[in-house]
């Protein structure tokens, strides 16, 4: 199973964020998203996670089309964005058990994920009392309780210390060694060596207004 972007485009609030994106991530491969702030890296990951509609082109994940079968595409994706999807009213352990239940994963696997991220000793702590790094580790632990071939990671090492950042690199290596894929937006080296990179650039001003008369100045 491969991920293929085929002239993919996205609009937000009527403005073209990107268009004509073509890229390929093969099975057992990690790839990086790079580019200046605001260029659309997070938007692309959210689109591939099924949270933003396709405005043109397509993305294929195996036989699933993001444009024509977004649910089938989404069912093969694990997304870790800027927000950690942590319920403050629940404990650390309860948060991960909730995600394990949603994904049909048993409790033993959730406990193993907590241990892998060094959270088992504080599993009973309310998530509201967690530090930023602890919340980040808890959010990323969700990757280990979902059997999804494609990981979409948005700046996964934010708020993490050196040891936790190294753990993320180890987990990505293990995931791709098992035949998975990872697409990672990051501004810092992850310790994954020389991996394929999609360099994103802003669309030109005319392209950004294409198809929207108001943004193109028809109101003037």
CATH superfamily of 3-76+148-218: P-loop containing nucleotide triphosphate hydrolases (3.40.50.300)
Decide if 57 contacts 9 (C-beta within 8 A): yes
Q: Which two tokens stand for residue 158?
A: 């934010």
The domain segmentation of the chain, as residue ranges, is 3-76+148-218, 86-147
CA distances from 202 to 11, 39, 41, 48, 159 (A): 13, 5, 11, 19, 27
- Give pLDDT tens digits for 113-125: 999 999 999 999 9
Q: Which two tokens stand for residue 70?
A: 């977004």
Q: What is the pTM of this model?
A: 0.91
Pairing of strands 15-25, 3-12: antiparallel
Report pLDDT for 205.
Answer: 54
The C-alpha atoms of residue 185 and residue 215 are separated, in whole angstroms, by 29
Burial class (CB in 10 A: 0-12, 13-18, 19+), 63: exposed
Report pLDDT for 14.
Answer: 87
- Give pLDDT tens digits for 51-101: 999 999 999 999 999 999 999 999 999 999 988 889 999 999 999 999 999
């Amino acid at each position: 199973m491969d991920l293929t972007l085929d002239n993919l485009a996205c609009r937000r609030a009527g403005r073209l964020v990107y268009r004509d994106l073509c890229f390929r991530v093969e099975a057992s491969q990690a790839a990086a998203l790079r580019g200046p702030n605001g260029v659309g890296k997070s938007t692309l990951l959210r689109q591939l996670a099924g949270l933003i509609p396709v405005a043109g082109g397509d993305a294929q994940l195996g036989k699933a089309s993001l444009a024509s079968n977004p649910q089938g595409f989404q069912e093969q994706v694990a997304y870790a964005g800027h927000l950690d999807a942590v319920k403050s009213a629940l404990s650390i352990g309860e948060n991960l058990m909730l995600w394990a239940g949603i994904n049909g994963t048993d409790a033993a696997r959730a406990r193993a994920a907590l241990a892998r991220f060094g959270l088992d000793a504080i599993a009973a702590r309310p998530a509201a009392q967690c530090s930023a790094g602890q919340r980040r580790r808890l959010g990323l632990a969700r990757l280990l309780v979902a059997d999804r071939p494609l990981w979409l990671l948005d700046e996964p090492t934010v708020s993490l210390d050196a040891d936790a950042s190294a753990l993320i690199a180890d987990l990505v290596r293990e995931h791709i060694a098992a035949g998975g894929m990872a697409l990672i937006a990051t501004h810092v080296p992850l310790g994954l060596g020389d991996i394929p990179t999609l360099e994103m650039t802003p669309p030109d001003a005319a392209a950004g207004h294409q198809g929207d008369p108001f943004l193109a100045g028809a109101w003037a």
